[in-house]
Structure 1
């Protein structure tokens, strides 16, 4: 998640937050990324905890979901962020609104890879 996205929700981070469920996690790790037109909407929910930075994320669908339909969510990755480039993430979402594709076009125009 980008710090600017979190800041608009009252959360201040100096570095991007990465939720990685490679070794531990819950069912949310099976939700795939899709730029801009994913069907899930996220809401950060605070819980009673001594650590004020401990949140749960609640997911809601933006429309009715069919059985066995893939769940997608916009991870909000900023592919133009030169400060914290995320080269390890290869966006293959196929969305007509894909930010990686748009970012690649911009970089080619500027003479960068």
Structure 2
């Protein structure tokens, strides 16, 4: 298992356990993490699972693939550390990962 901490825009933290091989988005959905909607179910076609990877983790997580970069164009308040959580595979190396959910438009 790998632990992932989600931080919301108000500073609230929620740490969940994730199975290696799953995605950060799947861990968020299983644990009802606010701010992760995942409307497309992880197909990299909606950008509603957008997160900011903590700067300490950006190298370990890696950068987005071209298809993900295209979808990030539709996300709100994209930053250099933006990723779609459906595209981040959980591995033992990501144990302790910290991500922040963006403020929702609305």
Q: TM-score surpassing 0.5?
A: no
TM-score where L is the length of structure 1: 0.28
More helix by share: 2
TM-score where L is the length of structure 2: 0.29
More strand by share: 2
User: Which one has the largest radius of gyration?
Assistant: 1
Higher normalized contact order (CA 8 Å, seq sep 6+, divided by chain length): 2
